[in-house]
A and B are shown apart, each in its own frame.
Chain A
Amino acid sequence: MKIDNALVDRLAELSRLEFDDSAKEQIKGDLQKIFDMMDKLNDLNVDGVEPLIYMSDEVNVLRADEVKGQVTREEALLNAPQHDSDFFKVPKVIKK
């Protein structure tokens, strides 16, 4: 697997990250080394093996349908970078 600029750009877009030219060279180098290491997995025969997805032994953990575990508006807004008394604030989304 060869890491090129197009792949880095596509992954950056999906990840909502940006890389300037020097950062891009660095991450290309890092990712190339990591991919080379991960490609080792292709040596294994995994035919007929079911993927292991859940690690918990618990099955169907249900609870009563009660309203709880809520936070107050003040708590919810406590750590927001920008907010007013009721809402999270962001730059304008809908343009006139």
Chain B
Amino acid sequence: MATTKAAEQPTRRDFLYIATSVVGAVGAAAAAWPLINQMNPDASVLALSSTEVDLSPIVEGQILTVKWRGKPVFISHRTKKEIDEARAVKLSDLPDPQPDEARVKKDKEQWLVVIGICTHLGCVPLGHEGDYAGWFCPCHGSQYDTSGRIRKGPAPANLEVPPYEFASDTMIRIG
């Protein structure tokens, strides 16, 4: 055994305290993770992540609402006037600048597909309403244009475009 002189810093005991605390903290974090992660979307929820929609019954000027991942998705069959209005806007006038072309598929610009959830606090906006004849959110007054872009009100972002593709000319697959 070493002689009993004044302990040098750090001592073996300090090292043991620190090492034990660290192991304990890592263990507690590892034990907490399953308790936290169980709240994330589970396998059955993730499995329902794609929906097919037939576009043929939607007439020009009509907005269809379908459900995808428990949320409403608006499929708007836009008129020529609505498309022109959406494309006439200067990008600098938009709170969340994005050209209409980037929000629709090429050569399918009559079809606008957006998630029908107001980007403010999650209400479902009403179609063909508001100052821009796009959508109007009844909860806190956000207004969207015919491209689903935010124009006025508290919402910070445009209506989100979900991932989708045309399976055929009259069929889209969302998700």
A binds B: no
Which B residues fall within an 8 A CB radius of A? Answer: none
